Chains A and B, each alone.
Chain A
């Protein structure tokens, strides 16, 4: 039997549907299930028969005794156990059906990865199914195509979605790691040269610095934010331009109170929607209008805060009435953020011209994207959704599954890089020999290389020769 690591991935499209399914496959699948799943029947999954379904909780707390505590429960789920060889991949497979929200799916998957599973590369489940004889041989070629197609998509995303930012930051971290490794390796391979000796406390300090960079990246990388919090989009505009109508149209659901009295929305309303595969947290804000009462003023303060936190602003203007001071104020506040100007009420007679809008942005006339819609008549909505997605994920339509997998793989690799850095630091503190410290640092470097696809050994050797005058 073909043996590999245990892998996991979300198997349903993101953000759509009431339930989502996470699939685990491999030798440790059932063991991991036991670590994170508390069945209501108190049975251990390692003991249950194959092809059975169990109800229970996914929990971060391993000890089952403290099951009273609710805090650690992530979700209530149905868990299916299928033992090798009678499963899709031919390995032990566990499928977890949970609530379909991105947050829940993502939390569960993160937990599984922490317990030792690896994020599945594109096409991996199918590949294993094939290698374990679970697929017809005729399907083999199709499998190849799936692997290459999906990889192409995810590569495309990795490059475009992150705008090269991730790889440049990772390369920066790699360079720093290679730099320490170079010093250590040079001192190991050239004991007779005058290579300045490395003090352990200096190495520890440098490892700490690198650790911080990795942590920062984990926290702030767009992928991390999208998956933890979703892409956050704020709808702003002066009072009564139709912000809530737009939100509702996007939601196709009546959540916000919609009236024609200006300033009805006083709190920020947040909703999760799925825009062409990208999970989006959309916020409707109170309208801007020279403050009349305290409640309204408070609302405006909150709106400003929401603008500050948002990844993208939908600046809604009313095309049927002339622009005024409120619009100008908003334009000033959102300058410097990423925004789309949404010209609403396209169905009414328009009075606002392109030149009027240009005046709102004296610093960048014509360099904003403008989408004309009618929120009420649902016109131009598709185009708006497309523009939102494009701003974050490049031109091509994104396959939902690969978006998630690609990014979670990055996150997983970064997490492992971080963990091995901690281990390297510990090894230094224990005063271990440098070659053991190197072992950890190299693992860290390899994890980062999984993201950028670069080999590292030659880099270190090259560096040794350019930095030190070695060799007799």
Chain B
């Protein structure tokens, strides 16, 4: 191999780029990561937290498959909380406040010590394309660098435009230049480009915040790491604080809406509804008298606080007044102003399920360029794009996760099938099989794939197999071990206000009762005492929610039927008889890769799916369907 030819070049060192480059290098490929500013690799441009509903599942899944985000988060955790702990297991989610600077250092340290990975600081100006195939990049300093695959993860940098009040200037993030040539280049290739808007809050000097009158929010007592490789907390744990906006805050904002780029028409990109700016909230919900503001520490060695909830692009002087109108922040000093940012994104329906573009072969896109928001969403895409770029170099079958296997599957399927009209973020309600796709069982769902891909080390996999076996063994044991209706047992049951037993019953039978937990079993059965919490948690969920889990498994079986029927990539939908013109056009544009994906395209009717099924069967007879 020539020395200047890489297998994969990853452009951009954000959360998508980190996972993409690390995955490729770990799979043994000669990989190059190019970043405009290597000191900023792994920066958290928005709030200093990882996880939350829907997002924690993504992080756990990336970790189960051998990605980095879980470990990086655990190592730099300064506050752990489990959200929804009083609700059911499917909607519980870990949320971690991290030390932002340490996180960045950890990420950089990990990448710098990754075998097969080169890191270069440079500005990428073009993708080199020959015959509709990407074969390298052209940078400002080094010129052409060749590669078999290119993964683009430029985040918000494409034609990034920052807004503070009516002032606006180009930039990828406050303090960083935007990347305009690359964006123009994508337009030249014929990609459909859209424009999104997002924003961030002013950063405050912690010494000027009156914490005495604010309500602290402390970490949970129990820490449940994202990564199975994590042994425990490494850093000191600190609280967040909750403040509230006041009627005065709202008045200040209302009085200055004419100087807001959002409401004076300067910003045209579509904003994030679920991460709205404070001016958005005030305008859309005028009846609300107060909004939460979470003061999140940016780290242990810094006084900076991130006031989550007042993302804004109002002018600097208004930001000052607004902050001062909040109780506890009367004297707070703004260190960095809040700002809005508009950026280009590529309509993600132009991607294949591997995140390779349909227009240019060997070019993969991941992260905010695909219209998403959030570190976790970016990491998940970067990871999958990296894996699939690597598999393509190795001429192996692509790695695809479907909606029934992972939130990652839901994320990618939503993006490539439906596209997105606003920055896309994950929610548990997007996953139709969320009872199965829990954060607690991500390893049980996905670890084996990570191992097969070569991303999970043998030793770690062995550890996982032991856990898997322990769970299965304990499930079996609970079925087999019977309790006799002795006076001792019934006395205990009576004290727990559950009905007494008249004949011998299994432990499983008892655990099914809503009022009986595994901890109760520990008081009835000696062996149960030896079972660790990690194992008993799984066992308890499996036993208690068996009925619901079985039901979802049945639904998944139905889902898989259409998912299994592949649509040949060369199929011309206009040749299919009896389909309406509108449906033909839609299908030709989106080129679904299986019948299930086709059925999720809006406007494609069940009848059209039947017709397609028959047509595919007729013209592309496969072995599978004839098998009994």
Nearest chain A CB to B54's CB is how many angstroms away?
A: 7
B291 nearest in chain A by CB position: A469
A122 nearest in chain B by CB position: B607
Q: Is the CB of A130 within 8 A of B617?
A: yes
When each residue 29-64 of chain A gets 1 if its CB lies under 8 Å from chain B and 0 otherwise, what string results?
000000000000000000000000000000000000
Residue from B54, B288, B606 in contact with A189 in the complex, judged by beta carbons closer than 8 Å = B54
Complex CA gap A136/B418 in Å reads: 37
Complex CA gap A460/B430 in Å reads: 10
B residues in contact with A151, CB < 8 Å: 605, 607
Is B180 at the interface (CB under 8 A from chain A)?
no
Q: Is the CB of A471 within 8 A of B274?
A: yes
Complex CA gap A123/B613 in Å reads: 13
B290 nearest in chain A by CB position: A194
Binds B, one of A138-146, A235-243, A248-256, A284-292: A138-146
At the interface, is chain A mostly helix, strand, loop or mixed? helix
Residue from B284, B429, B610, B617 in contact with A147 in the complex, judged by beta carbons closer than 8 Å = B610
A131 nearest in chain B by CB position: B617
8 A Cβ contacts from B613-628 to A = 613-615, 617-618, 625-628
Is B471 at the interface (CB under 8 A from chain A)?
no
Is A472 at the interface (CB under 8 A from chain B)?
yes
Complex CA gap A191/B272 in Å reads: 19
A121 nearest in chain B by CB position: B606
Given contacts A439-B435, A472-B47, contact A457 B275 (CB under 8 A): no
Nearest chain A CB to B290's CB is how many angstroms away?
A: 9
B residues in contact with A442, CB < 8 Å: 432
8 A Cβ contacts from A403-418 to B = none
Q: Is the CB of A435 within 8 A of B88?
A: yes
8 A Cβ contacts from B248-285 to A = 272-276, 281, 284-285
Q: Is the CB of A189 within 8 A of B614?
A: no
B558 nearest in chain A by CB position: A5
Is B164 at the interface (CB under 8 A from chain A)?
no
Q: Is the CB of A472 within 8 A of B308?
A: yes
Residue from A1, A144, A469, A470 in contact with B578 in the complex, judged by beta carbons closer than 8 Å = A144
Q: Is the CB of B614 within 8 A of A435?
A: no
Is B514 at the interface (CB under 8 A from chain A)?
yes
B residues in contact with A472, CB < 8 Å: 47, 275, 292, 294, 308-309, 311
When each residue 412-437 of chain B gets 1 if its CB lies under 8 Å from chain A and 0 otherwise, what string results?
00000010000000011110101100
Residue from A127, A148, A432, A455 in contact with B602 in the complex, judged by beta carbons closer than 8 Å = A455
Complex CA gap A431/B53 in Å reads: 22
Q: Is the CB of A188 within 8 A of B53?
A: yes
Is B551 at the interface (CB under 8 A from chain A)?
yes
Given contacts A131-B613, A189-B53, A472-B294, contact A460 B429 (CB under 8 A): yes
Nearest chain A CB to B337's CB is how many angstroms away?
A: 18
B residues in contact with A190, CB < 8 Å: 53
Is B587 at the interface (CB under 8 A from chain A)?
no
Complex CA gap A469/B579 in Å reads: 42
Complex CA gap A188/B626 in Å reads: 44
Is B87 at the interface (CB under 8 A from chain A)?
yes
Q: How many residues of B contact A (CB 8 A)?
A: 57
B residues in contact with A123, CB < 8 Å: 610
Complex CA gap A434/B548 in Å reads: 12
Is A465 at the interface (CB under 8 A from chain B)?
yes
A137 nearest in chain B by CB position: B618
- Scoring B87, B281, B610 by chain A CB atoms within 10 A of each residue's CB, the highest score goes to B610
B residues in contact with A148, CB < 8 Å: 578-579, 607, 611
Is A133 at the interface (CB under 8 A from chain B)?
yes
Nearest chain B CB to A465's CB is how many angstroms away?
A: 4
Is A212 at the interface (CB under 8 A from chain B)?
no
Given contacts A469-B281, A471-B276, contact A188 B428 (CB under 8 A): yes
B residues in contact with A453, CB < 8 Å: 605
Is B561 at the interface (CB under 8 A from chain A)?
yes
Q: Is the CB of A147 within 8 A of B611?
A: yes
Is A193 at the interface (CB under 8 A from chain B)?
yes
B residues in contact with A124, CB < 8 Å: 610
B626 nearest in chain A by CB position: A133
Is B187 at the interface (CB under 8 A from chain A)?
no
Q: Is the CB of B625 within 8 A of A127?
A: no
A149 nearest in chain B by CB position: B578
Residue from B285, B432, B577 in contact with A144 in the complex, judged by beta carbons closer than 8 Å = B577
Complex CA gap A471/B628 in Å reads: 51
Nearest chain A CB to B500's CB is how many angstroms away?
A: 21
A residues in contact with B617, CB < 8 Å: 130-131, 140
Is B90 at the interface (CB under 8 A from chain A)?
yes
A residues in contact with B294, CB < 8 Å: 192, 472
Q: Is the CB of B427 within 8 A of A469?
A: no
A residues in contact with B87, CB < 8 Å: 188, 191, 433-435
Given contacts A2-B625, A465-B274, contact A140 B53 (CB under 8 A): no
Nearest chain A CB to B610's CB is how many angstroms away?
A: 5
B273 nearest in chain A by CB position: A465
Is B37 at the interface (CB under 8 A from chain A)?
no
Is A326 at the interface (CB under 8 A from chain B)?
no
Complex CA gap A457/B410 in Å reads: 13
Is B84 at the interface (CB under 8 A from chain A)?
yes
Nearest chain A CB to B420's CB is how many angstroms away?
A: 11
Q: Is the CB of B275 within 8 A of A471?
A: yes
B310 nearest in chain A by CB position: A472
Q: Is the CB of B577 within 8 A of A145?
A: yes
Is B91 at the interface (CB under 8 A from chain A)?
yes
22 A-B contact pairs sorted by A residue (CB < 8 Å): A3-B561, A121-B607, A130-B617, A140-B617, A148-B578, A148-B579, A185-B427, A188-B53, A189-B428, A191-B84, A432-B88, A434-B91, A435-B87, A436-B435, A436-B545, A457-B429, A460-B429, A465-B273, A469-B288, A469-B291, A471-B276, A472-B47
Closest 7 CB pairs of A and B: A433-B88, A471-B274, A148-B578, A140-B618, A465-B273, A151-B607, A469-B285
Given contacts A144-B615, A469-B291, 9 further A-B contacts (CB under 8 A): A141-B577, A144-B577, A185-B427, A189-B53, A433-B88, A434-B91, A464-B429, A469-B284, A472-B47
